Structure 1
């Protein structure tokens, strides 16, 4: 099998800091809001993002 590596292009910031308090689905988040920070060197890749209704974010839980 071939290894697959990925390079982060940003950070997802969340109000949840304790895994036990983090909802498993957004419906249980009760209005909580997060923020996606894209590193400056990748910002140009968002140029035409206004035409989309949804984004798929691939993430890695680095503190679990």
Structure 2
């Protein structure tokens, strides 16, 4: 079970979110570039709101067993 670090700003570094949904760095950046995953850009850094990540995960179809 992963326990996320709660950032006071409510925005999380890409590396934190990548670990939470178990995808690679490139995949996460591809999702952001395609507009599938929303993010906020602060200078050269990208931050993902937890609500946006949860919304993306909720939109995924479950895989059959």
TM-score by length of 1: 0.27
Between structure 1 and structure 2, the one with the greater Rg is: 1
**Higher relative contact order by CA 8 Å / sep ≥ 6: 1 or 2?**
1
- Structure having the higher helix fraction is 2
- Structure having the higher strand fraction is 2
TM-score by length of 2: 0.26
